[in-house]
Amino acid sequence: MSKGARPGAGQARGVTRLAFAAGVLVSLGAILLLGEISARLAWPRDVRAHFGEKGDRAAYRPDPELGADYRSYEDFRADNAARLAELGPLDGPAAGWLFLGNSFVQAPGMLADTARQARPATPIINLQRNIPVPLRAAQARQLLGAGFRPARIFFVLLPVDVLDIGRRPLSFVAVDDRGAIGTRLRPPEPPWDGFVSRSRLAAIAWIRSGRADGDPGFDPRRVGEAPSPRVEADLSRILGHLAETSRRFGVPVTVVALPNREQVFGRSGFGFQDALKAMTARLGLDFYDARDILAGAADRRALFLPDWHFSERGNALVMEGLLEHLRAADTPAKTP
């Protein structure tokens, strides 16, 4: 014992250290427990898409081709009730054109509205909702299966549409028991897979690491220039489903490929469009590529709005080229 040290001082310091460590462990355990409880009450916003938004309509069922489909036409109709009520009856001789696409088609002033201005005698049908590409193909099947016979379907695609397929391959689409669409996680290697399957906190950490995605090697920066073979395979499945729907119901389909701003300004190649052209030729679908009419415009900046959607001028050029494509191919849509 050192001079001046009191008997039991070392033992007291040891007890203090143990008490401190125990306190840290208890505090850490309490934090983890509270975090686990909080995660079980509600998923954080950045991972919620993997499990379906809280309150999603129970409208979907698993589908072997598209990952998910509406459980019935009644569910599809209920999910689009307001818009279908605006459109009125969709059958009859004036069935018109059906436009399926993202906000470049559905938003006010975009391609569907441009088509209405260009073809005022043709009813233009669009549902005004931006949904993932596979569900757009499902919408076509639901509408045609219910008796709707448009003169033509225009299935519009941009490189940005690949992002959802890239992060969530069709084989990783999941539909829960509520009928909400989520994402099946790629599990980690054992023994960590047990933690992820049992703990929401562990699942959140695994998702945020980026390694839970169905295609961890997906590069969103190259969707326009060089879609990966796996992405091309999923796109081919979706378009194959669309082609089968077209043949079954006798409704022609034109796949419309629009470039993004990087492509228009020459900062990206056109691998996305080239892949679509090869797919549509193989599947027997009509194909229109708007790259030349937009990338060759004199004032390319005037083709875009500040949010990088196409401007009135940009959409007018796309429609002008599309109508010329139909005339040149001698496949005009039936006019009411």
Tens of pLDDT, residue by residue over 145-178, are 998 999 999 999 999 999 989 988 999 998 988 8
Same domain, 148 and 134: yes
Same domain, 203 and 232: no
Same domain, 92 and 178: no
pLDDT for 233-289, tens place per residue? 999 999 999 999 999 999 999 999 999 999 999 999 999 999 999 999 999 999 999
Same domain, 324 and 198: no
Same domain, 146 and 241: yes
Residue 102 inside a domain? The answer is yes
Residue 66's contacts (CB-CB under 8 Å, 6 or more residues apart) are: 134, 135, 137, 138, 170, 173, 237, 238, 241
pLDDT of 91: 67
Same domain, 176 and 312: no
Report the number of distinct structural domains present in the chain.
2
Same domain, 253 and 291: yes
Q: CA 192 to CA 205: how far, in whole Å?
A: 12
Residue 89 inside a domain? The answer is yes
pLDDT of 336: 41
Lowest mean pLDDT among 122-131, 181-190, 255-264: 181-190
Gyration radius (Cα) of the chain, Å: 27
**What CATH number corresponds to the domain at position 146?**
3.40.50.1110
Residue 246's contacts (CB-CB under 8 Å, 6 or more residues apart) are: 153, 252, 253, 285
**Angle at CA 249, nearest 5°, toward 69 and 162?**
45
Residue 190 inside a domain? The answer is yes
Structure tokens at 326: 């139909």
Boundary of a domain, candidates 153, 185, 214: 214
Q: CA 84 to CA 332: how far, in whole Å?
A: 26
Same domain, 160 and 175: no
For residue 294, the one-letter residue type is L
Residue 29 inside a domain? The answer is no
Q: CA 99 to CA 159: how far, in whole Å?
A: 18
Identify whether the C-beta of residue 186 lies closer than 8 Å to the C-beta of residue 216: yes
Same domain, 162 and 105: yes
Residue 272 inside a domain? The answer is yes
Q: CA 31 to CA 15: how far, in whole Å?
A: 24
User: Does residue 290 have a pLDDT over 90?
Assistant: yes
Residue 333 inside a domain? The answer is no
pTM above 0.85, yes or no: no
Same domain, 286 and 300: yes
pLDDT of 10: 66
Boundary of a domain, candidates 184, 214, 244: 214
Residue 60 inside a domain? The answer is yes
Strands 173-175 and 124-125: unpaired
Nearest to 276 by CA among 264, 261, 258: 258
Domain that holds residue 197: 48-68+170-214
Same domain, 289 and 221: yes
pLDDT of 294: 96
Boundary of a domain, candidates 151, 185, 214: 214
Nearest to 132 by CA among 107, 99, 164, 159: 164
Lowest mean pLDDT among 3-17, 251-265, 298-312: 3-17
Same domain, 139 and 226: yes
Residue 280 inside a domain? The answer is yes
